[in-house]
Structure 1
Amino acid sequence: MKHRYQAQLIQFLQTELSVPASAINTALRQYHSTHAPLPMVLWHYGLITLDQLDRTFDWLESA
């Protein structure tokens, strides 16, 4: 279940927010070492904007 949910999140990030796969891969490496929420990792490393972070949280609430 967790893997499917993460796959849906990654799909959203790529299709709706146009986050490059390389940025997602970078964030996933950090996510696996810190276990911080993936959207927060993306934002922390400057891979998404604050607006994109808000949109991601909105998506997460409705998913």
Structure 2
Amino acid sequence: METAQTEAVIVEHEGNRAAVIVSAAEYDRLLASAEEIDDIEAFDAARDEAGPNISWGQVRLDLAWM
């Protein structure tokens, strides 16, 4: 466990990678990165949807957020 605080530890079973142990901080960083990638993919998918799009400036005008 001490090694996992500074580097990933690979656990093998019958010669194959079975698991990887990382520190809690590294796990949190990886999770945040994965969530950001999900957000980017969702944004790209929404942007590519067919249909009318409006600019942020128009949204602000429509909501009277000048």
TM-score class, shorter: 0.3 to 0.5
Of structures 1 and 2, the one scoring higher in RCO (CA 8 A, sep 6+) is 1
In terms of Rg, which structure is larger?
2
Scaled by the length of structure 1, what TM-score is found? 0.32
Scaled by the length of structure 2, what TM-score is found? 0.31
